[in-house]
Amino acid sequence: MASHSTDRRVVITGLGVVTPLGHQLDTFWNNLIAGQCGIDRITAFDATPFDTQIAGQVKEFDLAPAFPSPKEIRRTDRYSQFGIYAAWSALQDSGLELDKENRDEIGVILGSGIGGLATTIEQHKILLDRGPGRLSPFMIPMLISNMASGLFSMYNNLRGPNFATCSACATANHAIGEAWRAIKMGDAQVMFAGGAEAAIVSVGIGGFCAMRAMSTRNTDPQHASRPFDKDRDGFVMGEGAGVIVLEELEHAKKRGAKIYCELAGYGNTADAYHLTSPAPDGEGAARCMRMALRTGGLNREDISYINAHGTSTPQGDACETQAIKTVFGDHARKLAVSSTKGATGHMLGAAGAVEMTACALALKNGVVPPTINYQTPDPECDLDYVPNTARELKVNAIINNSFGFGGHNASIAAKKFVG
């Protein structure tokens, strides 16, 4: 039974995002391919004392449609709000009808790299100022990283597989990959999968500043994140969420669902090397991409486009470039490779799902998003990064990469849907 179930095909039928480029799918995509940038000076708090004073913030919008009541919104951390809204948007986009008969077969894997950091800070201040008796009874449910996944299932009575991944910046790709596995193995017919993050708070920015991981190009926020550019000086933090609807093919066809693409393979490896630095020459990332190709039944020549992790850090971008060359050999020169983090900032645990959304739309629309702010070539980064301008391209299959602190690697392979 189990071996037969692995023959099940999995397609993407719904997309939902909350990003610095917008929270409606069309707005996000149009801004992305137009080369717009959502990075600006931080307004969430006074960032003047910090080495980095810029980020990709989500502008305020109406959360109400995704929640049962205003009270429920107040009882959730900002990261959960983003995740639940993105999942609700993906549900709307999918056209999936929820009824009593199918809810046991629908699951949710929605993770976060950091969880409710704003709640942690607020409640810690209350503890110090007013004592333990004034802490909120909702503090723990608000801050834990699994609650966006749990709440979305509760709001919609979805009783299939439900948990959260937490693997730093690989979180959302791991969620998507594990959701793919759940459907392949027959544990669910439909899965909502992705990640959410809201770490643009004083401790979040301060912690990454202390690591000297972020750009300090504060006077030019729009050009601060510049993946693969010779003058890159660190990543810029973003916030938001991405959720995709994965569905077993026959289930999708039976209800007449629109299909963006087919999710074909998943790679998942560890560097086992260093807290924050990638393994030399991107060795772990290379193994991860190879696994995604193998599990997807794809040859390296099948891949047209790679959405790179591409964070705009000196070491990370060079290692990923080397990993791509190691895996793809001569074909690496024929690949379109781009990073969308110049536009959105690095959305940490949400990044992989937002970038998978871009990949699904690239497969559907035959357009790949650009790497913006690419001005000065780096001899160590010598591939085709689709500089500054989106490109019309016949996209047959893609790889979407996400790599996280702790040596976590996750790659997703997807291909154009052919019935």
Specify whether 189 is located in the same domain as 325: no
Specify whether 116 is located in the same domain as 33: yes
Structural domain boundaries enclosing 190: 2-254
In a domain, 259, yes or no: no
Confidence check: pLDDT of 245 > 90: yes
Specify whether 56 is located in the same domain as 118: yes
CB-based contact 245:192 (threshold 8 Å)? yes
Confidence check: pLDDT of 99 > 90: no
What pLDDT, on the 0 to 100 scale, is given for residue 277?
87
Assign residue 326 the CATH number of its domain. 3.40.47.10
- Residues annotated as catalytic (active site), given as ranges: 169, 309, 346
Average pLDDT over every residue of 132-155: 97
Confidence check: pLDDT of 101 > 80: no
What pLDDT, on the 0 to 100 scale, is given for residue 70?
97
In a domain, 260, yes or no: no
Range list of β-strands (E), 21-119: 40-41, 54-55, 106-111
Specify whether 319 is located in the same domain as 391: yes
Handedness of CA 115, 340, 230, 52 (dihedral sign): negative
Given 199, 220, 254, the domain boundary residue is 254
CB-based contact 397:302 (threshold 8 Å)? yes
- The 3-state DSSP class for residue 209 equals helix
Q: What is the dihedral of CA 100, 103, 104, 106, to 10 degrees?
A: 160
What pLDDT, on the 0 to 100 scale, is given for residue 280?
84
What pLDDT, on the 0 to 100 scale, is given for residue 3?
33
What pLDDT, on the 0 to 100 scale, is given for residue 5?
53
Confidence check: pLDDT of 279 > 90: no
- Which of 200, 112, 201, 103 minimizes the C-alpha distance to 160? 103
Specify whether 346 is located in the same domain as 236: no
Token pair listed for 338: 């781009």
Give backbone dihedrals phi and psi of 338, rounded to 5 degrees, phi first: -140, 155
Average pLDDT over every residue of 20-34: 98
Q: What angle do CA 66, 262, 260 make, to 5 degrees?
A: 50
Please state the pTM of the whole predicted model: 0.96
What band does 331 get if pLDDT is binned at 50, 70 and 90?
very high
Distance in angstroms between the alpha carbons of the first and the last residue of the chain:
24
SS3 content of the chain, % helix, strand, coil (to 5): 40, 20, 40
